[in-house]
Amino acid sequence: MSADKTPESQLRKEVGDEAVEASEAREAGETASGGADGHRSSADAQKNSVAPEKSLVAQAPQNPEATQAPQNPQVSTGRSARPEEASAEDDTPEPSPTGRQRLAQSLWPPRVSRAQLIVALLLFVLGLGLAIQVRSNSDNSALRGARQEDLVRILDELDDRTQRLEEEKQRLEDQRTELETSSDQAEEARKQTVEKERQLGILAGTVAAQGPGITLTIGDEKGTVEADMLLDAIQELRAAGAEAIQINDVRVVAGTYLADADGGGVSVDGNKISQPYRFKVIGKPQDLEPALNIPGGVVQTLEKEQATATVARAGKIVVDALRPAKQPDYARSSSR
């Protein structure tokens, strides 16, 4: 019986031990579950904190040789250079600019003040005026290439013209003196009036005239002579002191006009004349002939147009072509 009780008591003991172990296991399980929850939350927090580090580690290169710093300092970048070398590079002086670079920097960009603009404008206006003056002088100098004997002849013509004007002035003064001192002022006035009428008749072409002068004959076989060339000859003769001019059979007066005629030739005051054109001019031959033969004058211009021009002096020239006297319609004498 003792033998039977022993295994039974041993069995009960084992069963009781297992029950105790089971209760302890349950208590340990409950305690473990509570602790597991807390441990799990702390583990999550630690995991979250370690996650950036793992991401940074994941972004790092897999090659361990790439992560090592370069051994050659000469190949490293500016940031990895040593502070001593960086400071040495900063202390290196910049090269000084050359003279051409300094000149370019001083000229551009321009620094112009108001006073400088005014001075520049004044200098521009002054230079423009000087250029225009020089050009006008060079253009007006028609005798620039004349020979010495031609210049001497022109000066003689000017002296003769001045002398002629002085003589005319003296004659008028003498007439005034005679009128003031004459006992018979009425008779003297009548004589001077007649003389003045004769002079005005010569200028107006209403009376014939004679005296020393020249003849100018222009031959135009090729028909190159135009009206303006003959007009230049008339103007040159008048400037030289011509007192009466006749072209072919037409008297030249103050109101004479010339035009190119249809079919060739020239028209003078509406009267057509043909070549050769013969000028009969009364005046001082010593003044009239050189005026036509000056360099670049009438004779040379006609010769350039393949025309011929012949000038001859004469002791007596008769200008007998007359113009009809016209009675003015509105103008009346103001003298009483």
Burial readout 147-182 (b: 16 or more C-beta within 10 A, e: otherwise): eeebeebbeebeebbeeeeeeeeeeeeebeeeeeee
Burial of 282 per CB tally in 10 Å (0-12, 13-18, 19+): buried
40: in domain: no
217: in domain: yes
108: in domain: no
Which domain CATH number covers 250? 3.30.70.1880
* Per-residue pLDDT band at 7 (split at 50, 70, 90): low
Range among 151-165, 183-197, 306-320 rated most confident: 306-320
205 contacts 251 by C-beta, under 8 angstroms: yes
In angstroms, the Cα distances linking 156 to 10, 35, 284 are 179, 145, 13
Top pLDDT among 61 and 166 is at: 166
pLDDT value of position 92: 62
How many domains does the chain divide into? 1
pLDDT value of position 2: 45
Lowest mean pLDDT among 17-21, 96-100, 139-143, 199-203: 139-143
251 contacts 323 by C-beta, under 8 angstroms: yes
Range among 49-58, 97-106, 173-182, 271-280 rated most confident: 271-280
213: in domain: yes
Lowest mean pLDDT among 4-8, 66-70, 165-169, 237-241: 66-70
Mean pLDDT over 43-53 rounds to: 47
Please enumerate in sequence order all residues whose Cβ is within 8 A of that of 233, keeping only pairs 6 or more positions apart, or say none.
Answer: 216, 218, 279, 292, 298
Judged against a pLDDT cut of 60, whether residue 26 lies above it is answered with yes
Residue indicated by tokens 């003040």: 113
Please enumerate in sequence order all residues whose Cβ is within 8 A of that of 144, keeping only pairs 6 or more positions apart, or say none.
Answer: 138
Judged against a pLDDT cut of 80, whether residue 148 lies above it is answered with no
294-315 pLDDT per residue, tens? 888 899 899 998 899 999 999 9
193: in domain: yes
Domain boundaries, position 313: 182-319
Mean pLDDT over 203-219 rounds to: 91
280: in domain: yes
Distance (Å, whole) CA 309 – CA 292: 10
Backbone angles phi, psi at 183, to 5 degrees: -70, -35
At 4, which amino acid appears?
Answer: D
331: in domain: no
At 117, which amino acid appears?
Answer: L
237 contacts 309 by C-beta, under 8 angstroms: no
278: in domain: yes
Judged against a pLDDT cut of 80, whether residue 224 lies above it is answered with yes
107-142 pLDDT per residue, tens? 777 677 788 888 888 999 999 988 888 777 665 555
